[in-house]
Each structure stands twice: as C-alpha cells, then as structure tokens.
C-alpha cells in the first residue's frame, strides 16, 4: 500500500516549513531512513528522512513551497501501484499552499527560479542623479558623461570637483556627508531569534545567579586526557561543563523542566542544548541524556552536530528536545555575561573564559584559574535559593572533575 510523506513537525512551536530541495526525484527508489528532502524551519535547514521504503511515485509540491505541518508532500509506493486516491485526496491541501502543482503533481515545466523574485534594486537603478548646476554646465562644456558617476557631495550629489577629477582621471575624496548608509536585510534565522528572545524577555521573569569556579583541576585533567586522545577527538572545556551540568541537574528536576501554563513539566531525560554560532545567527544542538554519557561521547556528538549546524545540514534530532541550555563565550575571552532563556525551557547557563588571576587561599596570595558562570532562571518556576544550590552542586563537579570521569 502506498504511503504519503507529510511536512513533519520539527519543533514544539513549528507551524509551517519551507521545502528547500528535493533530494530524490519521481521514480527513484528509496529506503526507510534515506534523506528525501531538505526542509527549512524557523531554526535551520534540516534533512528529512523517509519513513517508508518503495518508489517515489509523486512529488506533490515544488521546491520553495511553504507548507503547514502535516501537509502531504510526496507519495511513496510500489512501481505499478494505483495512487490516484492519494493524489486526489492530497491535491486540495497542496494547492492551497503553492501554485505550480498540476493535478496533484509538480509542474516540471516551471522551476522555482522561473518565478519573479522580490529583490532589492541596486542604488543605481531608477534613481535620479543629483547634480549641481555648475557641475552640469562644466560637464556639458567638456563633453563629459555623468551617467555612471557617483558624486562626493552630500547624499551623493555631483559637484564641480567630481567633474574636474573625472576629467583628470582621478577619484575625488569623499567627505563623511557623502557616504550613504547601507541597508542590510536580516536573515530569516536572525529574525526568528530576535522574535523569540524578545518574547522571552517580555514574558519570562528572569533572574540571575553568578559564581566563579576554581578550574585548575579541570584544566589539568583535560590536559592529561587529551594527551592520550588522537587529533580531532580532543576534549573541550565545554564538554566538561555539559557533563557537570547534566549530573547536577539530576538533583534539580525543577530546573530540568519546561514551563507549561500553571504547570511545570519535569523531564526524565537530561538533554543539554549547546549554543553554536552559525552564519546569520545561532543554533542550539542537543546532547541527549548527557548525564549518562562519557565525556568522550559527549565531545564527539557535540563536534559532529556543531559541524552539521555550521554547514546547514542539521538533522531533526540535532536541534529538538533540549531541556536545559548552555551558552559559552569563553573562547572570545569574555569574563562573564548573561543569556536569555530559550522557552519553554526554564533555565540557561552562560559561561565566561577560564582566566589566570590573583587569589587568596588560607591567607596566601597566589595565582589560580577561575571561570565565571551565570545561570538565568524563570522566576515563575524557581527562586534564587534553588538556583544558588544548583550552582553550588555544579561546583562540586567543576572543582572535583574526577567525578565527571567516574560518575
């Protein structure tokens, strides 16, 4: 029996997605688990795997189509199987979302690139030149064309010195007033980040708790472990923090939770979201059950998911299901910062860099390594005392890192 592939729901708040590219074509064989298409959500471009095996009988939508979740996008079945009932049932849904689908199938004579695009015109198109009367007269007298000349006067106005410079074959010096502003469109990802973070700050009552950790032992242990690991598999400081936070969260289910109206959903699994800087914004990849995984596996998974995120090839499981997030700017020599909670999560941990500094221990002045971390917490779910206890428990693992290896 034929099966219908639908627009998947790849996030708790996903309402629609864009079918960016078909990886398979009509008539191609496909097995369960093979990538059939690339879908763009409000977070990333995701490779979508087929849930069925068979032959791709129909592609119901064009590349570039914007569709609601659960909308049919393809039919998979046996080569000679009658699929007319599936096509007939699906056409009405597809047609509402995108032209270019004829009788339930993609119009192969028209590609997305044939459609007119809403693009910004360059500054040189349909723009009236501003020329001073003197410059216009001088140009006419000397037979100089000003059609392509960019003026150095206010707002790009062509003035006498521009004509003189053009005649002499030199470039006039532009003044500050002559430099025009540049409008740069926000990427879709940046727009989504802005909207979600603005909603978080407006609706979620944040509070913050900061603590500095002694990390000499952690750095020493990392050096020892990395000496035994091959290139490409070295552990990062962030890997240790992910493991430490995951273990600490076992004791604080109220922070490993999601806010849901008047209830708090405490999660059984500890899935740590790791913020990754990508072109045009930020993505959070998810290390699942981090409390149960060894450091080396956490490091391997984080490295692979971050690579896919930066190349725009994340998988659905890479970016969904986090229960607590970590944002680390330590690689930029940042002392400390605060992060905005990513709803429906109720907390996020922000990490600064490990820094060598002067410390006093037992009345003795010496140097030591310290790293500051700040937790942002939803005040509807928790309070300062609980957050402080969590930070204290986190310190137990950060400052005694052998627990991360044997725990």
Long-range contact set of residues 83-89: C-beta below 8 Å, sequence gap at least 24: 83/2, 83/57, 83/58, 86/2, 86/4, 86/58, 87/58, 87/60
User: Lowest-confidence range among 57-61, 201-205, 279-283?
Assistant: 279-283
Which entry of 190, 203, 379, 396 is annotated as an active-site residue? 379
User: How confident is the model over 2-47, as pLDDT tens digits?
Assistant: 888 998 887 666 788 889 899 999 999 999 989 999 888 777 778 8
pLDDT, residue 41, reads 79
pLDDT, residue 127, reads 52
pLDDT, residue 105, reads 41
Active site residue 267: no
pLDDT, residue 149, reads 77
User: How confident is the model over 197-253, as pLDDT tens digits?
Assistant: 999 999 999 999 999 999 999 999 999 999 999 999 999 999 999 999 999 999 999
CA gap 337, 289 in Å, rounded: 26
**How much is the average pLDDT of 393-397?**
98
Percent of the chain past pLDDT 90, that is, above it, reads 54
In sequence order, the 6+-apart residues with CB closer than 8 A to the CB of 333 are 353
Question: Is the pLDDT assigned to residue 48 strictly greater than 60?
Answer: yes
Question: Is the pLDDT assigned to residue 98 strictly greater than 50?
Answer: no
Chain Cα centroid distance, residue 351: 19
Q: Tell me the two tokens of residue 105.
A: 């199938």
pTM of the model: 0.70
In the chain the domains, ranked by start, together with CATH numbers, are 3-114 (2.40.50.100), 133-178 (4.10.320), 188-406 (3.30.559.10)
Distances in whole angstroms, Cα of residue 341 to Cα of each of 205, 288, 375: 10, 19, 9
Question: Is the pLDDT assigned to residue 182 strictly greater than 50?
Answer: yes
């Amino acid at each position: 029996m034929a099966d219908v592939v639908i627009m998947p729901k790849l996030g708790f708040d996903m309402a629609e997605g864009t079918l960016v590219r078909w990886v398979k074509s009509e008539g191609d064989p496909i097995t369960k688990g093979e990538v059939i298409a690339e879908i763009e959500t409000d977070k990333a471009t995701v490779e979508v795997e087929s849930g069925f095996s068979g032959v791709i009988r129909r592609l119901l939508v064009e590349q570039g189509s914007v569709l609601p979740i659960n909308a049919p996008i393809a039919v998979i079945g046996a080569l000679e199987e009658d699929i007319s009932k599936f096509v007939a049932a699906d056409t009405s849904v597809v047609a509402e979302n995108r032209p270019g689908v004829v009788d339930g199938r993609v119009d192969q004579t028209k590609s997305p690139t044939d459609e007119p695009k809403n693009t910004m015109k360059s500054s040189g198109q349909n723009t009236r030149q501003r020329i001073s009367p003197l410059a216009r007269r001088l140009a006419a007298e000397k037979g100089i064309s000003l059609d392509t000349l960019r003026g150095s006067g206010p707002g790009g106005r062509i003035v006498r010195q521009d004509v003189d410079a053009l005649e002499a074959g030199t470039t006039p010096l532009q003044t500050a007033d002559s430099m025009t502003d540049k409008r740069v469109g926000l990427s879709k990802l940046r727009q989504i980040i802005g909207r979600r973070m603005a909603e978080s700050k407006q609706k979620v009552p944040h509070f913050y708790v900061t603590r500095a950790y002694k990390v000499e032992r952690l750095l020493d242990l990392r050096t020892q472990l990395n000496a035994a690991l091959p290139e490409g598999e070295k552990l990062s400081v962030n890997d240790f923090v992910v493991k430490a936070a995951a273990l600490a969260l076992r004791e604080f289910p109220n922070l490993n939770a999601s806010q849901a109206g008047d209830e708090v959903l405490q999660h059984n699994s500890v899935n740590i979201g790791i913020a990754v800087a990508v072109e045009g914004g930020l993505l959070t990849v998810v290390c699942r059950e981090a409390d149960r995984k060894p450091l080396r596996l956490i490091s391997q998974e984080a490295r692979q998911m971050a690579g896919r995120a930066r190349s725009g090839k994340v998988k659905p499981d890479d970016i969904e299901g986090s229960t607590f997030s970590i944002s680390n700017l330590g690689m930029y020599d940042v002392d400390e910062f605060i992060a905005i909670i990513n709803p429906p999560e109720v907390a996020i941990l922000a990490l600064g860099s490990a820094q060598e500094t002067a410390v006093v221990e037992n009345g003795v002045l010496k140097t030591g390594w310290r790293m500051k971390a700040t937790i942002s917490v939803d005040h509807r779910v928790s309070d300062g005392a609980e957050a402080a206890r969590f930070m204290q428990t986190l310190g137990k693992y950060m400052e005694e890192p052998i627990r991360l290896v044997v725990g």
